[in-house]
Chain A
Amino acid sequence: MSKQAVSDTKTANGQTPVAYDPQYILMVKDLKKHFPIKGGMMSQTVGWVKAVDGVTFNLKRGTTMGLVGESGCGKTTTGRTILRLSGEKTGGAVLFNGQEVYDLSAKEMRALRPKMQIIFQDPFSSLSPRLPVGEIIGEAVREHKLVPKEKFNDYIDEVMDNCGLQPFHKDRYPHEFSGGQRQRICIARALALNPEFVVCDEPVSALDVSIQAQIINLLKDLQEKYSLTYLFISHDLSVVEHISDTVGVMYLGNLVEYGAKTDIFRNPLHPYTKALFSAIPIPDPQAKMNRIVLEGSIPSPANPPSGCKFHTRCAHCMQRCKEEAPVQREVEPGHYVVCHLYDQ
């Protein structure tokens, strides 16, 4: 692949290019996505919602990265921006296999689409009610001409079988399926294109506990079989701990902590991560928890606090936190945190 030539990709706004490292399938550097707020008589832009405001991480091939955070912190927008699904980015770089995603032309982008897929949160609204399941799964396969016509049917059968669906379900419509089955259809639709990288946007949040386990196991099996890379977005920390290799914690558009799963769960460093993890209910009636209860709620991303965005709710807030935004630093090997407490 000639595209992998090191770092000849200049980003649109002339930032320093990111050096490409082939072990990473995805490199995200200082990614920003702001949405305009329209108001007034002429629909002028009166402000910006900073949904994603500086996210940096690298994702190794064949691993799973969990992205956690409260609702409204920009997890989903991050996932969609990486896939170039929500218009142009505001800043930063997204390198997929060393190729800046936002530099591609429409035609090149189309060729890249099968390689990066997404599974949406709600299996009830993300499937077209007017298409039979075989068509939902096969539409993109045919569109991208991935398999010859005569093998098309067999291919769809095989994909459905891999995802735990019966081939005779092909002619049925989504409303005939239960929630878990529908999520399997969504997974089959994403995997039919033979992707390398899949964004799983809360794939199990809408499902019951016992169905959740089935879907999580399915995702893990498929990852092993096709050596997929997942970006697993969820607000359920226990699910993220189960499935991920690395974990990123987001707060108000920023990635505040990022590292290997064991580092993050055993030794959380950022005050927000600590508070978040202490809030997880543990199914043990006698467990005593030293819960850090965060006061108030998440500030508006349209008007974020100055300095460190977490300082309004942080127990360790210093004067410096109010004035100066902290930068990401590596505290332990592979364990990054954005906090002034770890500046030494």
Chain B
Amino acid sequence: MAKKKAEGYLSGKESRRISRANRKITNELEKKRKRKKVPESEYLTTMHDPANAVEFDNLHTYFFTDAGTVKSVDGVSFEVPVGKTVGVVGESGCGKSVTSLSLMQLLQRPQGQVVEGEIRLNLGDKAYDVAKMPYEAVQHLRGNFVSMIFQEPMTSLNPVFRIGAQLNEVIELHDGEGKSKEDVKKRTIELLEMVGIANSEGVYEMFPHELSGGMRQRVCIAMALACNPKVIIADEPTTALDVTIQAQVLDLLRNLKDKINSSIMFITHDLGVIAEMADYVVVMYAGRIVEKGTAEDIFYHPAHPYTIGLMASKPVVGRQVDKLYSIPGKVPNPINMPDYCYFKDRCEMCVEKCSGEYPDEISISPTHKVSCYRYYDGQMPEDVGPAVAVEAEKEPVKAAAEAGQGPAEAAVKAGQKPKKSAAKAGQRTAKAAKGGKAQ
């Protein structure tokens, strides 16, 4: 037993104490949320940039469990511009799904709570702060302004209702005013045709088990698009599907997005899918954003050691390596996060400063931000040369000039992106760091 106590063992007494303390906090938050007839002014806000559909600003979502507080999302800020796709990448448990669930207000209650920060949602003529909205009001946003495609098409449809009935329900609930039953059915059939289901009248009468995985996911997509939402959250929509079906679904999503001009927040752990779909990429690790930028930034100049490691550890068709790079160690315990950089214990490119407090975000180009001490003054690694050279005037970085040397420089001058695969860059960095600054 002594062995068990040594690592995170909780006695019953202790667990009850935590549970009591949690209840106090969550009850208070729940009470606030459950209020009825809250004046709109309380959650009315303005977008920092009207070109954004959603702005996450310093979002903190915690889960108050009996074993302690899990900081699932711990200070996440990023934007989803109108009409663009933002990809969120990370391993399981890094908080990517929780971020999206916070926007939908679909967190597991009462344990899961948004405790700090703002989620500003652009409704066109006004903007709401979803993080402060009571449950009653959020119901009007779901479906109409934000909707979600879930990971498992097998489990997210109700097995005892026909496809038609399930789709009708969405329309009736969110967009049903003044519509007769026939109108609703017509719209449902139209939606089924829009997502490429040929036999739409037949599928209308079917049960979910009669459809294949790809077809079910199409139904889920139709459901999400039923009321022309401004923002679509796609939470690993293709993870459960085969590559050929995945290609069909991705094609479909891309075309539909253009058709109804909405934004997509695309959550996945597959870097290939992200590269294909996303305009902007956000890389999350242990509840925080470690790197964000345009897809080109992330794939051609990955800066954070975690991103680099992630890219090098994924085998790519057509690239032969003898041995895959694997990130050593494992994700820290979410209940007792260290107070230094969360990635430090697994990082092979540590610098002295890493034992200090969690690094702030630093811009290495106008679009590219990273949370890593390696990019703080003077310690500019060579491989980010091109990105740094572009940014040289704006950033007070002394080493920028020398970092800009090398074959990549010419390409930058010519205004082109150097055509090198991200993985190569990753390996080079790993080598450079080992040879140079690794300690």
The answer, yes or no, to whether B242 is at the interface (CB within 8 Å) is yes
A213 touches B326 (CB 8 A): yes
A residues near B314, Cβ cutoff 8 Å: 209, 212-213, 238, 283
B residues near A280, Cβ cutoff 8 Å: 243, 272, 317
A279 touches B269 (CB 8 A): no
B268 to chain A, nearest CB (A): 10
A210 touches B246 (CB 8 A): no
B422 touches A284 (CB 8 A): yes
A282 touches B247 (CB 8 A): no
A297's partner among B92, B245, B269, B327 (CB-CB below 8 A) is B245
A178's partner among B244, B245, B275, B330 (CB-CB below 8 A) is B330
B residues near A277, Cβ cutoff 8 Å: 317
B203 to chain A, nearest CB (A): 13
With contact pairs A210-B326, A217-B326, A283-B299 given, residues A70 and B242 touching in the complex (Cβ less than 8 Å): yes
B96 to chain A, nearest CB (A): 12
B326 touches A282 (CB 8 A): no
A residues near B324, Cβ cutoff 8 Å: 213, 216-217, 242
B274's partner among A213, A214, A279, A283 (CB-CB below 8 A) is A283
* Alpha-carbon distance between A131 and B244 when the two chains are bound, in angstroms: 40
* Alpha-carbon distance between A231 and B270 when the two chains are bound, in angstroms: 25
Most chain B beta-carbon neighbours within 10 Å: one of A71, A178, A213: A213
Of all chain A residues, the one with the shortest Cβ separation from B273 is A281
A241 touches B317 (CB 8 A): yes
B317's partner among A180, A210, A265, A297 (CB-CB below 8 A) is A265
Q: How many chain A residues touch B (Cβ–Cβ < 8 Å)?
A: 38
* Alpha-carbon distance between A123 and B271 when the two chains are bound, in angstroms: 24
Interface residues on B, range: 35 or more
A235 touches B243 (CB 8 A): yes
B324 to chain A, nearest CB (A): 4
- A interface footprint on B228-271 (CB within 8 Å = 1, 0 otherwise): 00000000000000111111101100000000000000000111
- B interface footprint on A275-289 (CB within 8 Å = 1, 0 otherwise): 111111111111100
* Alpha-carbon distance between A212 and B278 when the two chains are bound, in angstroms: 24
B275 touches A285 (CB 8 A): yes
The answer, yes or no, to whether A222 is at the interface (CB within 8 Å) is no
Binds A, one of B112-120, B305-313, B380-388, B430-438: B305-313
**Contact residues of A between 244 and 279, Cβ < 8 Å to B:** 265, 275-279
A135 to chain B, nearest CB (A): 18
* Alpha-carbon distance between A209 and B370 when the two chains are bound, in angstroms: 21
* Alpha-carbon distance between A294 and B423 when the two chains are bound, in angstroms: 30
B243's partner among A220, A279, A287 (CB-CB below 8 A) is A279
Most chain B beta-carbon neighbours within 10 Å: one of A265, A285, A291: A285
* Alpha-carbon distance between A291 and B276 when the two chains are bound, in angstroms: 12
* Alpha-carbon distance between A242 and B309 when the two chains are bound, in angstroms: 17
* 19 interchain pairs, CB-CB under 8 A: A208-B92, A210-B310, A210-B313, A213-B313, A220-B323, A235-B242, A237-B243, A237-B317, A238-B315, A238-B317, A241-B315, A242-B315, A279-B247, A282-B316, A283-B275, A284-B275, A285-B276, A293-B244, A293-B251
Give 19 A-B pairs besides A208-B269, A216-B324, A281-B275 with Cβ atoms closer than 8 angstroms.
Answer: A70-B242, A70-B243, A178-B330, A180-B330, A209-B310, A210-B313, A217-B323, A239-B315, A241-B315, A241-B318, A279-B246, A280-B243, A281-B243, A283-B275, A283-B422, A284-B422, A285-B296, A293-B244, A298-B212
